[in-house]
Chain A
Amino acid sequence: MSLSPIDWMIIAGYLVVCTVAGIRMRKYVTNVDDFAVAAREVETSLGVASLAATEVGIVTVVYTAQMGFTNGPAGATPGVLTAVAMLLVGLTGFVIVPLREARVMTIPELFEKRFGTRVRWLAGLVVILGGLLNMGVFLRAGGDFLLHVTGVSTLAGFEVAVLGHTISLGYLELMMTGLLAIVLVYTVLGGMLSVLITDFLQFIVMGAGIVIVSLMVVWYIPWPEFISGLSEAHEAGQRYAQTAKLETQQMEAAARTIAQTQGKQAADAFLAARTQKQGEDLKAAAGELAKQSVLVDTKSNPARPLTMAHPFNPFASEGLGFGWVLWQAMTAIAVVTTWQTTIARVLAARDANTAKKIYRGTWFYFVGRFCLPGLWGAGAFLYFSANGGLPAGAASDTAMAEFLRIILPTGLIGILLAAMLAAEMSTDSGYLLTWSTVIYNDLITPCLRRPLSDRARLVTIRFVVIAIGLFLIFWGLWYEMSGSVWEYLAVTGNIYLASLFSLLVGALYWRGANSWGATAAIILGACGPLTFLVINAVVGKDSPYRIPGEVAGLAAFGLAFAGLIGGSLLGRAVGKGAPTPAEPIKETRP
């Protein structure tokens, strides 16, 4: 454990202030509008702080640092694309102005006006499916990071005897359950009002932590050395990749010969034994390989080499490329217009102009959201290359935490941990509130024969927040992540992003769209990402049948738009589908 009493005091102080401030807001909550959209009283600066805090969680820091570790600054391309998309939407008001003017609480609610109750319900279901799957990895990723920074094993725990039975409890599970319990208390009591206040405090703590840690990294690895180090690491990695490719070709040729003479089983056994041996050789040579800027991931079995892709050009960087950048650009536009946690601030804004201002004030924050943790990740790669390789058990997703634990002095570790706790809590509270609002507003409400009283509505939505929290504890903490965290998040997000983006554009800007097209867009848009999740879970890590993230993501957008257009035209041809309203969608609430 690398925490001093000063670090503990900083963390405890932050947690107490944040919890008390959140709970105190409960007295202002009298109805669901107060709870879900803060009585639509949010002004620009608070909206910017809340949006920024919600969209930076520990999982964000982990995946952006992982991108920086494998692809250098080029890995921050999604951040730049999101920032550009946000600025364009903030300047033009594309989607967000008509959405805010409709005075809805969620996006699916808007669809009811245009496409009917069934489409609203189906859209709500897809939003929840994508949103909860997306949020499911937050707790484990966050816990992994926090324990790595403190130097505690992620498998560490203790045993307690209860009624004659011995129960094993892991530190990670206990810590994240405790953190989620604090978040649940103030979110259940104060809803969006508590989320706003705590987001603001978390924005301050998190911002201070991010700036201080980034300055420390730049101080530790001076900028000219950082740039030249990444270039040299990439070139060395390319040389190693060429040698490794030759070895693989020779191994495959030998396996083919064995298959012809002794059969396929013998060839498979030969390949498995050689791969295992390569892993063992890599582990043994980790120190020497680090001098050639090749790090060894000992978390994987067998161990595998990690090299730096092209660190500056995303179109030439391994694992990225033109198709990937195009997918990220589409995702960025969809996120800023459709992602419910982002849109929640638009819907809570005082008016449409304030919503646009919030976007214009937040856009550049999204560059730093990727670039700064990416800087830490790339710094980790350079540090471990120069210092004998990755520590045992570390990989691309945990290298940054190990690096920061080494370079940050006492006190600053406490600030970093408080910042990361702030990031996690603000994201969890924002997401809990958002998904519970969708469940209440779009899945439960349309099924009710009579409207509930104000009190019953509040009790229901609070109960849903608790239910999501319990789901996260039991599902989120047991989900084992494999592969790139960012790819998983982007693909699960795409389950609803592609469908809802095409639907929103259709609902707001195309009079020809109808319920047939809407239904087809929702179903087809979800097919690509769900196929990706199922197939990639079934086939092996190195299987040639794995679906690349960009193929699943781009297919989702293509299928959703094709479904919207094709379904609407078909519906019109057979005289079906909900009729298009004569007037543009306007206020649905008094």
Chain B
Amino acid sequence: MHIENHPILGKQLQEPVTFYFNDQPYKAYTQQSVAAALMANGVKKFGLSRKLVQSRGLFCSRGRCCSCYMTVNGEDHVRTCMTKVEEGMSVYPNLEDPEVRREKHGD
């Protein structure tokens, strides 16, 4: 849920954007991180851990723990707590290690 009227900071959510998670549209606001935007829409599970294959989501929101890795606009392992949500952004969960050697990387 978005906090439309913050008790101390007032009405801060001004510019709405639409972004896509698993191709489904969701509403967010420009100053929010991708991770926060997902949580506002009730999405807490961002991916799976590589070894034990357990659910993972936002943890530190400071860009240090890497628990919130997702695929954003085609790029894997993006720290979604440090990335601002943008209009039309496409987000997918981080389900496995990215393929580093891909055709588009010339390998």
A binds B: no
- Taking beta carbons and an 8 Å cutoff, which residues of B are in contact with A? none
- Taking beta carbons and an 8 Å cutoff, which residues of A are in contact with B? none
